Structure 1
């Protein structure tokens, strides 16, 4: 039966009245957010806000701090000056606040590319050119890309700036070089192909563009959609005729537009692509009704999706991490590449707790590498893989093993390192033959100390290794030591003095006491110092620190025995078992520094920088430290020593059930 004309008119008026009422109600709840001035900028509105503005005005990620002449904003933990705002293209211009105008030789902060799913402010995607600062251990000659920065260079390191379009390509990075900083350049600025340092500084001080956080509206729009669906179900329709559907959709659409305006604050979002919104609302509502008859198949699909998600979660975590490594970092290889590099895993170098190691050759150049294939079962979540790549992947130091590349494929994860032909340190210091002179041992100890100190202080984030031991020190052709195996390593800000106690483990005999009991102090970089001290004592003695088969029971625990020998008046007999002669000065120095490093209380140990100074100095200037906890009250009997060692092992095993790296 056709609807009378009068009734149709009343229906239209009713719909318009409801829509108008919704619009007025929506505006009534909109907070009063007047425009404001900040520094030299005027007429500022959303998404920017001040700390004093009421909730709902602007976004916390765009909060400005105002002074008489400056407007500042925090992005990614750093402070920037806002020099201009462009509402037409939803961007604003920022300048690094740390760039001192009076400093003639500034070094920019590290500005990596922001992920595209960032819900806060992000770098303008048009910024596709960057200036890269690199530090090289050898002078680079014969290439126009590397422009020297004399004021930042020293006799031992050379700093260059690269500004060409290929400046961020890893294939153009010299082998002796590593990245110091990367800063974006204005996309519409003058071309700086192979520009000088002065031109780059001028470009840095002009700033770069940053986008408004438009993606932050995503959750608000989802809330509006859910509210619209709820209101549509509440709309009284009899029989669900086409007319009822249209009226309900129109009312929901008006409320949805009101909600979008409240969320975004931008009028051009209201009614945007309304046809698409109406169709989407119709499809969503229809699907909700149809699901009443599809619950059983839907439950099966949810179960299958859950099983699939569990198998993919590790790869998803690695995939997100790899987005941060695409521009700067090691080379990513496919599993087929790994197979070709290792000649189908023909030459096996060894087997460890985390997988097998194979020798390989990368072409061109015939570069020899060591490929570690990680053992990954169903309980593997990719954390050890991410830990290795995120730590060692950003390090370029002569005493840290270099990560050449990686393969992230599911159940076939591999890490590609530079090949160390001389193997690990343990096979030399525990050998029956004396392989190294005392001068060489001291040189190796210094190299290890410098590598660990670089991990603690030489990077943007301090890296704690947590597994320093002879097996994890590799030697190249010239017996230069390199710290390796970062499976237990963790990244922490450099300004913190201790780290959380969760997720920590190590190797018995080298693990610091505070990692077992907090009564010995907090876990910090001093935990690596303890492990290094145990390593020094084993290098000096040419034996394990704990040896139940020692000929003399007083020598079973080496640190206690060597402490007694050093404090005796007659230093007859070399400490090591190799030569029966007067104690060598360098041997005595290694022992004293090692005893300083293994003090039970973490605050009594030196830093790695202080340990380097002690190793570089003379043994005569070193004072004997306090007697370590394990060797107080005279000699330590063998039974007592190994009872204590057994107790520590049991404690560590109990803790390993509760903590995991």
Structure 2
């Protein structure tokens, strides 16, 4: 063949390349010259006033070179000599920085600058973006209700209100403080004009000065930035290259990717060998690419498009707080894919362990000629999130056709095995009604966060029991964002080609636009179908059973609720509280699967209905869609 004639001409060229490489003088840096970035960043750390020294990943604007810090960690000094940071367009006073635990203590500038103990100032909702800053563990939230009618509150609910600062029109109004999820919140908010949610550390509610002190003292924030220990152990300083938009280890000779290279004698031999290897390797790679492009032109083009799409996405989003692994890391952490946790159309999931001993679940995607949309969706969606009911993405691998996602490990697996009767009725597959109810509320909170708690709205499009994972305490976490779609928060209706989701959970408007536009209400429909399955312990459409099981489950439930008959679900013993929870879940589920998307509640409304009383819930109209019986 023609390729055989290529090698006799290549080898003389190869020998020439090697000769030129070996004979070329290697560039050397003059003795005693120190890299300017290393010199600047190794100077004595700056501070604000007499406060704590500021070092990587933070840097003070106009005092320190930004290359000595990390994007998003720029500080400034206020008039009182305190460092402050801007997060989500709000200024926060920094009281302490723990570089060991990567935790800040901050307080909102409105609360800190107010007159001590005199009043509670008006501010806006205090929220964190999730990346690179998120609320540290063991923090809580309080509801601040402004413009409250004190006389109404004292006469009806016997509350003691706090004085409010000068709020303009609400100058003489009071401020009421209620803990997170207080059952009285719904009624109290009617007597107030504004509600603000603020994070705080746990405080003494009985002490009247406790909340004012807690607001001024602030709360703890966890930060995420590129790992710095490897660079520091090699004698370097951590920094950032803004032209390449990537972490750099600043070393005396020059910046390196992750760590400094030591040993002058070793370097004399390493550099020529590396250059020689690169030269030989480059020639071999050119030959292989040439042959592959000649023999498989269609395969080359497809893979090239996929590679360009994913690399373009990674470049566009900038530095990710999650780690990018190479494929050999994936094989090492899974012990060569020894323990498989599950398998699906996307690929397989394996149990793994990181170097620090942390257990992970590694999702290895099948090799595909597609343009990598599912991989991009999952990385783009979940890297924007930080919520207790959303599974945490700890890293990813993209190396040629090898793609993998590294998640936190969920020891109890998916919700699916705990609710369907096809699984053995062992003790470990039976959950109490109280637990099932908390799982339903947790999933609703996670979806509410995806729809309105992020900078962009994230639509999941595949909510089902299989994609709900449970941690060791049976707290639910939404996973599998392969079909997700990201849109702006003010975009109510989105355009989408084709159908996404799993049969039995797909909203009618996703199948046919005659039912309405596709929006976040499509996730509400999937959630409603799943909640009915949680309560019923069976598929809404059981096509594997006999003819009696083909009854469309939502219609069966609707009839029982109409006639006020005993539900007898899940074969579990139910007390009065359990019946109340099950009834709320069923009514909420029926509201969520309304055919007209405008009749479905938002996920925020779902949380309110689940946490309220069932006596105020109206039974919704009967859904008219049903599953057709099989012909005999």
Shared fold (TM-score greater than 0.5)? yes
Q: With the length of structure 1 as denominator, give the TM-score of the two structures.
A: 0.53
Classify the secondary structure of the residue corresponding to 2:430.
Answer: coil
Query: Pairwise mapping of residues 244-643 of structure 1 onto structure 2 (< 5 A)?
Result: 308-363=300-355, 365-377=356-368, 379-430=369-420, 431=423, 433=425, 435-548=430-543, 553=548, 556-569=551-564, 571-578=565-572, 584-630=579-625, 640-641=628-629
CA distance in 1: counterparts of 2:566 and 2:559, whole angstroms = 12
CA contact (8 A) 2:302 2:371 kept: no
CA distance in 1: counterparts of 2:563 and 2:221, whole angstroms = 59
Taking a change above 3 Å as real, the CA distance of residues 432 and 622 of structure 1, as seen in their structure-2 partners, is farther
Residue matched to 1:237: none
Shift of 1:553: 3.1
Residue matched to 2:17: none
CA distance in 2: counterparts of 1:438 and 1:134, whole angstroms = 40
Classify the secondary structure of the residue corresponding to 1:501.
Answer: coil
Compare CA radii of gyration and give the structure with the larger one: 1
CA distance in 1: counterparts of 2:363 and 2:557, whole angstroms = 38
CA distance in 1: counterparts of 2:72 and 2:219, whole angstroms = 10
Shift of 1:552: 7.5
CA distance in 2: counterparts of 1:489 and 1:350, whole angstroms = 21
CA distance in 1: counterparts of 2:608 and 2:221, whole angstroms = 35
Q: Does 1:148 align with 2:113?
A: no
Shift of 1:542: 0.7
Classify the secondary structure of the residue corresponding to 1:592.
Answer: helix
Shift of 1:302: 9.9
Tell me whether 125-134 or 438-447 shows the greater mean CA deviation. Answer: 125-134
Shift of 1:449: 0.4
Shift of 1:149: 2.9
CA contact (8 A) 2:364 2:404 kept: yes
Residue matched to 1:169: 225
CA distance in 2: counterparts of 1:172 and 1:428, whole angstroms = 42
Shift of 1:126: 7.6
Taking a change above 3 Å as real, the CA distance of residues 307 and 478 of structure 1, as seen in their structure-2 partners, is closer
Shift of 1:360: 0.6
Shift of 1:493: 0.6
Classify the secondary structure of the residue corresponding to 1:584.
Answer: helix
Shift of 1:463: 0.4
CA distance in 2: counterparts of 1:581 and 1:642, whole angstroms = 38
Residue segments in structure 2 that go unaligned for 5+ positions in a row = 1-64, 74-85, 89-94, 109-125, 128-138, 142-198, 201-217, 230-239, 244-289
CA contact (8 A) 2:524 2:592 kept: yes
CA contact (8 A) 2:105 2:220 kept: yes
Q: Greater relative contact order: 1 or 2 (C-alpha under 8 angstroms, separation 6 or more)?
A: 2
Root mean square deviation of aligned Cα: 3.7
CA-to-aligned-CA distance 1:397-436 (integer Å, 9 cap, x gap): 1100111100011121111111111000010011453712
CA contact (8 A) 1:550 1:556 kept: no
CA contact (8 A) 1:420 1:477 kept: yes
CA contact (8 A) 1:598 1:628 kept: yes
Classify the secondary structure of the residue corresponding to 2:469.
Answer: strand
Classify the secondary structure of the residue corresponding to 2:480.
Answer: coil
CA-to-aligned-CA distance 1:255-284 (integer Å, 9 cap, x gap): xxxxxxxxxxxxxxxxxxxxxxxxxxxxxx
- Matched residue pairs, number? 384
Shift of 1:336: 0.8
CA-to-aligned-CA distance 1:75-112 (integer Å, 9 cap, x gap): xxxxxxxxxxxxxxxxxxxxxxxxxxxxxxxxxxxxxx
